[in-house]
Amino acid sequence: MTRVIVIDNLSYTYPGGGDALTAVTLEIHQGELVLLAGANGSGKSTLLAHIAGLYAPTIGTLTIDGTDDPRTLARLVMQDADLQILGGTVGEDLMLGREGADEATARSTAARLDLLAHWDKPVQTLSWGMKRKLCLAAALLDDPAVLLLDEPFSGLDYPSAREMRAFLASSKAAGMTLVVTVHDLEPVIDLADRMAVLDAGRLALFDLPEKTLPQVHRHGIRPPCSWRSGAGIGAWGYEDLDLS
């Protein structure tokens, strides 16, 4: 199996002091969907920022496809969409910094995420879920090898959560490598190939979901109701939730 992300003994200390990550070592393979879980302050967003190339390790190394500059291969969609939207309209935001880019491709990507009808709309008129999709569309236009999503279900209503789940499922089916941070495992656990759990900046667990779930409560994470109810591995109960 091809290794895409290789993290070796990565530690990070904030410039003002305080250890955010300590000796994190893991590998993520091509086409995997890896869940990165942990309580608030466990280091999830900081690790995601390292994979995106926004932070450099204090100690250790991180490579994507053999390069130590992840910015060329990974794209991060932050939890707060307003931090990433710079254009005045949907179309302007998608074309920003892409002089000479194919507008037809941008419009096609917008259509994939049901944004095309909003192409000329001011971004401030978009709902929270639509803003999240706009950030996704902008990331996809860069054709990343790795897509990083920080709490993609946060603040979404049920229809929007279903759309997000469908996007993750289709992206995984297309062979994209995905790293997704979550608080709530319920909407996405059955899509995960592996699950990493951070606790106080250290990698506490990294394995198949069925091997990590019996232990996640020890690290401040609520196991999904479908697993606790005894649905069984591979039968998470999502038929009842209709999240397909």
Q: Is residue 125 part of a domain?
A: no
> Domain limits at 189?
1-73+144-155+175-244
Assign residue 54 the CATH number of its domain: 3.40.50.300
Q: Is residue 193 part of a domain?
A: yes
Is it the case that residue 176 has pLDDT exceeding 60? Answer: yes
Q: How many independent structural domains does the chain possess?
A: 1
Nearest residue to 221 via CA among 229, 231, 213, 210: 213
For residue 174, name the pLDDT band (cuts at 50, 70, 90).
very high
Q: Is residue 83 part of a domain?
A: no
Give the Å distances, CA to CA, from 94 to 60, 129, 140, 164. 35, 16, 10, 19
Beta bridge mates, 34? 179, 194
Give the residue-averaged pLDDT of 153-176: 91
Neighbours of 10 (CB within 10 A): 22
Please tell me which of 30-44, 89-103, 225-239 the model is most confident about, judged by mean pLDDT: 30-44
Span 11-32, pLDDT tens digits: 999 988 889 999 999 999 999 9
Q: Is residue 113 part of a domain?
A: no
Give the residue-averaged pLDDT of 54-65: 95
Q: Is residue 95 part of a domain?
A: no
Name the strand (E) or helix (H) holding 120: none
Give the residue-averaged pLDDT of 201-222: 94
Q: Is residue 127 part of a domain?
A: no
pLDDT of residue 233: 44
Is it the case that residue 242 has pLDDT exceeding 80? Answer: no
Place of tokens 């932070």: 55
Is it the case that residue 235 has pLDDT exceeding 70? Answer: no
Is it the case that residue 230 has pLDDT exceeding 80? Answer: no
Give the residue-averaged pLDDT of 101-130: 93
Q: Is residue 167 part of a domain?
A: no
Phi, psi at 241, each rounded to 5°: -80, -15
Q: Is residue 41 part of a domain?
A: yes
What angle, 0 to 180 degrees and rounded to 10, lies between the N-to-C axes of helices 128-140 and 103-112? 140
Neighbours of 238 (CB within 10 A): 19
pLDDT of residue 244: 37
Provide the percentage of residues in the chain whose pLDDT is more than 90.
75
Is it the case that residue 229 has pLDDT exceeding 60? Answer: no
pTM: 0.89
Is it the case that residue 227 has pLDDT exceeding 80? Answer: no
